Amino acid sequence: MDTEVEQEAPLTIIGLIRTLTARATLPHLLGFFALVVALFLVVGGSRDLEVESAAAFVGMGLAYAGVAMLAEQPTVRGWVVAEKGGAPWTLVTVLLAPLALGAVLAGLLLTAVEGAGVGSTLPLALAALFVAWSIGQGRSFRSAVVRWPTSTLTAAPRSPPGGFATSVRLGIMAILLVAVLLAQGALAGTSILTASVGLFDVLFDQIGLAAGLVVLVVAGEFLTAEGRRACGSDRWTSRMFGRWHVLAVGFAAWHLGTAWRHITSQQPQVAT
């Protein structure tokens, strides 16, 4: 008797979670998360260490960028990847090389910027790097979706249709960006919760950031156009691509707002 073979969704959130929690990636994910929490606590406890914390974060980011590019080299892979079936302690030892490299890079960076007298620009540079990282994540995910082996599977028609789905995605993105504007305005001291401040006051006060967010959305649509065309006929890949795009733009928007707030905090006449 013939049995119907049930097709799995070629790309799902569960699949991405499994990839992130795999033995090769989970130690680095947890280690980096612990480092972020530690740096956040350091900055929260002492503003005098803000520059040092930013240098540490930038150093670790550069270290992991280098590790990611070289991880397929057999020599490097043995140092940074906990292979399946390996000893339990390798889950910890694989963190040593990235942490050591990050510490060295952070020290060199801190020495260079302090020597040049531009240490106060490091937090701003960190926020800018996060914007670039978010755009890079969107681009890399686009490439992954385009290469995803779905040719052997029957394409599942999109529902809702492409035009309506695009409108929904852009609408959600607009709501998210307005929320970012309001949150950044509140952090900058302009909150709509006060009786004398309205929504348009916040938008006007943050007009430069609003323009930057519009540019970010336009750039995102341009950079992802190829990916949207490539996965436009299949609902699974199209849905995952759209969700990741919204998340990447939202993440970039938040850190663009952080950079804007840092700039305007040095210029009280621009944003109060």
d(CA 50, CA 139): 30
| Residue 212 · residue 249 · CB < 8 Å | no
Angle among Cα 153, 154, 157 to the nearest 5 degrees reads: 130
Give the domain ranges of the chain.
9-117, 123-272
pLDDT digits (tens, 9 = 90+) for 226-258: 766 766 666 666 677 777 777 778 877 887 777
What predicted TM-score, i.e. pTM, was given to this entire model? 0.51
**Percent of the chain clearing pLDDT 90 (strictly above):** 0
Residue 95 has pLDDT above 80, yes or no: yes
In tens, the pLDDT along 168-226 reads 878 888 888 888 877 877 776 655 444 455 555 556 667 777 788 888 888 877 777 77
- Contacts of residue 81, defined as CB under 8 A and 6 or more positions apart, other chains included, come to 24, 71, 94
SS3 for 95?
coil
Percent of the chain past pLDDT 70, that is, above it, reads 57
Q: Return mean pLDDT, the chain.
A: 69
Residue 151 pLDDT level (bands cut at 50, 70, 90): very low
Please count the other Cβ atoms lying within 10 Å of the Cβ belonging to residue 19: 11
- The SS3 assignment for 79 reads helix
In terms of pLDDT, which residue wins out, 153 or 20? Answer: 20
> What number is the average pLDDT over the span 27-51?
77
Q: Which two tokens stand for residue 5?
A: 């073979």
Overall residue count recorded for the chain in this entry: 272
CA 180 to chain centre: 15
